Structure 1
Amino acid sequence: MELNRDNLLNAYEQGFLDKDTHKIGHHPPRMIINSKEENVLSSMLDEMEGCLSFSISVAFITEGGLATLKTALYELAKQNRGGRIITSTYLNFNKPKVFKALLNIPNLEVRAADKEGFHAKGYVFRNHHYSSMFIGSSNLTDAALKKNYEYNLKLTSLENGAVIQHFNSQFEKLWEESTAVDDEWIRGYEQAYVEQPEQRKVLEVIEDRSRYHHQTMTGQVIQPNIMQKEALMELSGLRKAGKEKGLVVSATGTGKTYLAAFDVQQYRPGRMLFLAHREQILEKSMNDFSKLLGEPLSNFGLYSGRSKKSEAKYLFATVQALSKEANLGQFNPDEFDYIIVDEAHRSSASTYTKILNHFSPGFLLGMTATPERTDDMEIFSLFDYNIAYEIRLQQALEEEILSPFHYFGVTDYEKDGMSVDDTTALGQLTSNERIAHLIAKIEYYGHSGETLRGLMFVSNRAEAAELSQSLNHHGYRTRALTGDDSQQMRLQTVRELEGGMLDYIITVDIFNEGVDIPSINQVVMLRQTQSSIIFIQQLGRGLRKHDDKEYLTVIDFIGNYRNNYMIPIALTDDRSYNKDRLRKSLMDRNTLTGVSTINFESIAKEKIYRAINTTTLNTQSFLKEMHLYLKNKIGRPPALIDFHDDADVIDPLVILHKYSHYLEFLVKIKEKHLTISKNDHQVLSFLSKEITEGKRVHETLLLQQIIESPVNMRDFQLEMHRRGYHMTDDTMRSVLRNLTHAFHAQQDLKKYGGPLIEVADDLIRPAPAFSSALENPEIRAHITQVLELSLALSRSYDQSKPLTVNRKYSRKDVCRLLNWDKDESSTLYGYKYKHGTCPIFITYHKDEEIEDTIRYEDRFLDLNTLKWFTRSNRTLQSKEIKALLEGHREGAPIHIFVKKDDDEGSTFYYLGEGHIDHQTLEETRMNDGTGKPVVKMNMLMENPVDYDLYKYLESGTHE
């Protein structure tokens, strides 16, 4: 990356002299404080990923802190780049295992400072001609880098700056005085290392170990965690409202069983029934209930194939045993005051419904982590649509109910450019080369704690057996465990893993649910993601807290699988199936709250992008399935806004991008049986395609108001001003041209019919086409729905400006929002200077077949500088170029829009305004063999490009 000296001076003027300066400055000094919006780790990784080398001087390092940097260090190593770390033995804080992990990173040199009281915290990343440094309070721990309240100042310096020179000289001096860390040094440190009680207190403060506590206990009394307290209040409120059933949706590991026991404690039933599908679950649940309720063991009984203590006050029964006619008939319908259904997503099966139809309890509680996993049978009606409480993975991590995790999406084994895919044969899955690749990754990314306790999920039983044999040959202690093994063998194997006699259990899917092994500290995924639900269930095996681990390591081997698009869905809990949101979740470092992180190796990330781009996520059958799920969940046909409000279902825009309007979709899936008139179809089509996304809220508000009564144009403009929305006379004119259809091209007028509004004497009222549609109650309801959704979506845009940085727009959107008279998107290719504005549209990875006149190499030189080419056959004397340069000198804004490639569709990210660096203006020739003239210049970005977006655009560019 490059750095302009003048822009750096401007940035420091703003940072230290005048925050209101309007000069364009790059790399400003910044105070970084961990929050939901940003954290030290993200900013540091931004610098590390692009640096030539780095120097870190830091007293304390934890395994979790080092884990957050490992993927970035791996990517640097591929480019033969690396750095040096000086750390310490101060207070014996750094564990010997941390030093071993540091030595395992090939592009890292490590020394231990012998200086008394060494407590430094400085990070420097060097680029061509400049360096970025972080000086502050953050040690190299995951809590300090991502969660704790820390002060860190980020500064940028040219190479001859006094501060950076002083840091470098002090670092070099300290480096020479420090001791090289090698195997022999670590052996000596291990012998001297003792974790003292005083040290443990320091550890708890620095590492924030408070988050590793389990269910809170006061003496021997178990107390509910924050999630359970809220759920208990909701369940109590449900019953006070006269409800007899409730469903709790709670992520794996968040304490559903204890929650049920707490609710039984507050309900005080005469008798209780707990239903589950597996005896192993019942025994664990019975033990938990016994501890919490504090009643004698004689009050608890198991009802299964081998035990039938039917008289117990608290009965724990397998569904298989109780559903048998002879067994069920022994119980009266009112036998139990309180019934609990564990894994309630199974409750629509005939065995469950047979039991539930038999009994009439005072209260029925269902518990599940995956309500959507219903196998075409819905469960919500069984609980009268009463979702008492819901906590998903993200919220559970935020509330620190689960163990944090560091996820590493790594590239699966590749040979001759071919990677593992859906059709790879067993011999290749267990080849010596793939095993070596697997071992290298699991050893590099490691695990928390001294003893490895891992779970590996593979594609099939044969692979599990072969892989176990191969790993055992390499010195690991593993066992394959599949559905062929007995319950006794499963229990024995789990005990051996927990006892440290096994390193890994290798399985296919028998541990997806109902198995509790809190000590698991590494989950390895060696198969494609069949569904986001199964992914989360398998991830969840390691998310329970345990004293022997600070975090869970998740290593996901990503091949060329069709279902790779499900990985971001699973990790982020975003089931919108909106491709832009899925791509963004891969770019965004701050997706997870707390200290958990998501890390992808670059090639692995590209494979997921490719899967997102090439997979059809809006088939009619899938959309119908989503509609049915939401309908079952809320107990009525969903409106458009229901899709927006419910995080469990698809983004309503996915539906509207496929169909002309929502009513058309409902007719197609046979949810509605009616004939839509041509006029009504056209009105709904216009609103759905041109208004719904809320990119300019003015049209939405105007239509909502004129439905009730005519609107005075001047009053409306004043109202927009009062609300702080962008409003000029040109904006008002553009709004009117849009709603009268004067803005739209001829081909769109055929789709949209007559205008929606008419204006006379500054009074705006519905036009005949709109009035006619409003007369039909069904159509009016759908119009209201579209406008309601549009209003909700508009809140994600900055309505005080025509365009919002980092949001996506089509060429047609831009013509409208820049107040152009007509939609000129069909002739708006690379750029167009018109109406005092110049939008520039850049496809970063251009198709090889694109026509020569616009196939040029536009590139970001850094986050602040765009190298841009005009069309070919243009010189500095061309009328078009002279008009652009002159207009820009007079203040005409240049707006920059970018998309990675045509697979993204027709929308572009808006990156803000660009300013021509006139010193870089140059006539040159196309390098495509034609030698045609072209004008080249640099655009200085008013806002630095978001780093994650920059990396996304750049990825794959030079492959």
Structure 2
Amino acid sequence: MKMEGIELYPHNQKAYDNLCAMLRDSNRACVVQPTGTGKFVIIAKMAQDNPGKNFLLLGTNDYMYIDQMANLSDIAPGFTPKNLQFMTYATAMAKARCGDEIPRCDVIVADEFHHCGAPEWGKGVQYVVENNPDAKIVGFSATPIRYSDKGRNMADEMFVGNIASSMELEEAWLDGVLPMPKYVIALYDAPKELGELKVSIEKVREKKKYSKFVKKYEELRRSLQDADGIDRIIAKHLRKRDSKVIVFCPNQKKLQEFMLLRREWFGRVNKEVHAYKTTSADPYGSRDFQEFKEDSSSALKVLYCINQLNEAVHVKGIDAIVMVRPTKSPVIFQQQLGRALTSGGNRTPLVFDLCNNFGSLGGIAGMQERMERAYEKKSEQGEKPIYEPKDFHVIDEIKDPRELAEELREALNPSTTIDEKISFLEEIAAQNGGQL
């Protein structure tokens, strides 16, 4: 079979050109782009354009590499990068501990390089670098900030700020690099939230206040009864009967629970639901995952997973994702969101963010503001994005109950105003001769 040259999308060609230019003057450079934009294709392009150089790709798991190579065969039929070797971060760590030999290479590629900040994996990366002192080091990540690690910026630490290309998720949406999703917020655990509020109300001893809170609580309860359930919300927005859906679960127990609810949740879309599951601890996960990808039947296909698909694994033709994994991590949120987004996609993917509390807007909080800022910045620079922030549709299915719940919570736990705080401090100062 004739080998075909890899053609990059314009955004990746720009990143590739900048990367090559930066590496001519420096030994280290990185690319920061959202999940789904095709970062691995840039790696493959580098290997193809430099057949005389050996590349060592460091990544999180073997499955990631196998999946990416399978996708590459569709992009560049006949091309298999013989000069590209793969090693997991865990393997590099083990080799560092044992002092094992490391393959000689000209270029070390750290995929999802934010992981290099992890203590033990970081030692493995350092060992690889020390054994290849003359190698260029290239990194790719959607999220270089380690939020759970005091906000360490691995682009600064590893690549001394040499960022060849940087693109935020919101920029990718505005420029049409990634399809802009329709984002639906709903509540899946209302009884738990109601129960917590009821416990707080029962602790109120003043009869007048208690009566007021009970009235507000009943108003909230009726509002939730009138609101659509998960089944109706999904059916309202997911119209394609043979859709492929990924459901992210917080743990094994919840995965089993949500799998049992598959007909209750998705039955209004299609009575025939094919359910699959995959977790990093499940030896049959890969088989289930493969069957999910290959399922072209008229049934609605749902893949339930815990953490297997958060990072680097891509599935074509995903119509919707359901996030029921309560996470405060921007990294995990963007990884999950990325499963529904792919460069070149012309669909409008659906994202169901099933919150587990009234007070949360899910992972979407702040995203609309960032999009507004990105749009203003592009406009000031004379660029004209394909889309505008108003094109990002967020449907808040629990807006009314949320506002009622916030009103009730505020009444139960009134916050101190700035004026009240100042008055309190002035009072203390007056009692202490002007000193706080």
TM-score in terms of structure 1 length: 0.33
In 2 relative to 1, CA 270–525 (structure 1 residues): closer, same or farther, beyond 3 Å?
closer
Task: Find out whether 1:438 has 2:207 as its counterpart.
Answer: no
Deviations 1:547-577 (A, max 9, x none): 7x7210112223425654753235655799x
User: Would you say the 8 A contact 1:529–1:563 is kept in 2?
Assistant: no
Aligned to 1:512: 310
Deviations 1:737-764 (A, max 9, x none): xxxxxxxxxx9xxx9xxxxxxxxxxxxx
Aligned to 1:230: 14
2:342 maps to a residue whose letter is: R
1:464 maps to a residue whose letter is: L
2:105 maps to a residue whose letter is: F
Aligned to 1:272: 55
In 2 relative to 1, CA 538–288 (structure 1 residues): closer, same or farther, beyond 3 Å?
closer
1:509 maps to a residue whose letter is: N
- Displacement after TM superposition at 1:457 (Å): 2.1
CA distance in 2, matches of 1:273, 1:385: 22
In 2 relative to 1, CA 398–498 (structure 1 residues): closer, same or farther, beyond 3 Å?
farther
CA distance in 2, matches of 1:483, 1:555: 23
Task: Find out whether 1:477 has 2:285 as its counterpart.
Answer: no
CA distance in 1, matches of 2:406, 2:294: 38
Deviations 1:682-723 (A, max 9, x none): xxxxxxxxxxxxxxxxxxxxxxxxxxxxxxxxxxxxxxxxxx
- Displacement after TM superposition at 1:456 (Å): 1.5
Deviations 1:226-284 (A, max 9, x none): 211221222133123x2110111110000101122223444555211111121111223
Aligned to 2:143: 370
Aligned to 1:462: 253
Aligned to 1:330: 101
Q: Which of 90, 93, 113 matches 1:320?
A: 90
User: Would you say the 8 A contact 1:278–1:318 is kept in 2?
Assistant: yes
Aligned to 1:77: none
Q: Which has the higher helix share?
A: 2
Alignment of 1:71-90 (within 5 A): none
Task: Find out whether 1:537 has 2:329 as its counterpart.
Answer: no
2:86 maps to a residue whose letter is: F
Matched residue SS, 1:528: coil
User: Would you say the 8 A contact 1:494–1:517 is kept in 2?
Assistant: no
Unaligned runs of 5+ in 2: 200-224, 374-385, 412-429
User: Would you say the 8 A contact 2:322–2:352 is kept in 1?
Assistant: yes
Deviations 1:610-663 (A, max 9, x none): 89x99xxxxxxxxxxxxxxxxxxxxxxxxxxxxxxxxxxxxxxxxxxxxxxxxx
Aligned to 2:111: 342
Q: Which of 380, 397, 409 matches 2:173?
A: 397
- Displacement after TM superposition at 1:404 (Å): 2.6
Unaligned runs of 5+ in 1: 1-218, 301-312, 424-432, 577-589, 615-746, 752-959
Aligned to 2:350: 553
Aligned to 2:218: none
CA distance in 2, matches of 1:239, 1:270: 14
Task: Find out whether 1:569 has 2:335 as its counterpart.
Answer: no
In 2 relative to 1, CA 516–607 (structure 1 residues): closer, same or farther, beyond 3 Å?
farther
- Displacement after TM superposition at 1:405 (Å): 1.0
- Displacement after TM superposition at 1:409 (Å): 1.6
CA distance in 2, matches of 1:522, 1:565: 16
In 2 relative to 1, CA 416–530 (structure 1 residues): closer, same or farther, beyond 3 Å?
closer
Q: RMSD over aligned Cα, in angstroms?
A: 4.0
2:351 maps to a residue whose letter is: V
CA distance in 1, matches of 2:328, 2:12: 31
Task: Find out whether 1:352 has 2:135 as its counterpart.
Answer: no
Amino-acid identity (%)? 20
User: Would you say the 8 A contact 1:456–1:507 is kept in 2?
Assistant: yes
Q: Which of 385, 394, 418 matches 2:161?
A: 385
Deviations 1:387-422 (A, max 9, x none): 11111111111222222311112344645992899x
Aligned to 1:142: none
CA distance in 1, matches of 2:371, 2:180: 19
CA distance in 1, matches of 2:369, 2:305: 25
Task: Find out whether 1:451 has 2:222 as its counterpart.
Answer: no
Q: Which of 29, 35, 41 matches 1:246?
A: 29
Alignment of 1:652-731 (within 5 A): none
Aligned to 1:406: 182
User: Would you say the 8 A contact 2:57–2:111 is kept in 1?
Assistant: yes
In 2 relative to 1, CA 268–607 (structure 1 residues): closer, same or farther, beyond 3 Å?
farther
1:285 maps to a residue whose letter is: Q
User: Would you say the 8 A contact 1:258–1:288 is kept in 2?
Assistant: no
The structure with higher relative contact order (CA 8 Å, sep 6+) is 2
- Displacement after TM superposition at 1:465 (Å): 0.4
Deviations 1:502-557 (A, max 9, x none): 6212233332112211211011123434223222211111112587x721011222
Deviations 1:348-368 (A, max 9, x none): 232222222322244211000
Paired residues, number: 354
In 2 relative to 1, CA 594–500 (structure 1 residues): closer, same or farther, beyond 3 Å?
farther
In 2 relative to 1, CA 235–541 (structure 1 residues): closer, same or farther, beyond 3 Å?
same
Aligned to 1:418: 194
In 2 relative to 1, CA 607–272 (structure 1 residues): closer, same or farther, beyond 3 Å?
farther
2:328 maps to a residue whose letter is: Q
User: Would you say the 8 A contact 2:92–2:127 is kept in 1?
Assistant: no
User: Would you say the 8 A contact 1:455–1:520 is kept in 2?
Assistant: yes
Aligned to 1:813: none
CA distance in 1, matches of 2:370, 2:38: 19
Aligned to 1:97: none
In 2 relative to 1, CA 591–398 (structure 1 residues): closer, same or farther, beyond 3 Å?
closer
Matched residue SS, 1:252: coil
TM-score in terms of structure 2 length: 0.68
1:262 maps to a residue whose letter is: K
CA distance in 2, matches of 1:451, 1:441: 17
CA distance in 2, matches of 1:539, 1:530: 14
CA distance in 2, matches of 1:328, 1:295: 37
- Displacement after TM superposition at 1:374 (Å): 6.0
Task: Find out whether 1:489 has 2:285 as its counterpart.
Answer: yes
CA distance in 1, matches of 2:43, 2:304: 32
Alignment of 1:148-163 (within 5 A): none
In 2 relative to 1, CA 282–468 (structure 1 residues): closer, same or farther, beyond 3 Å?
same
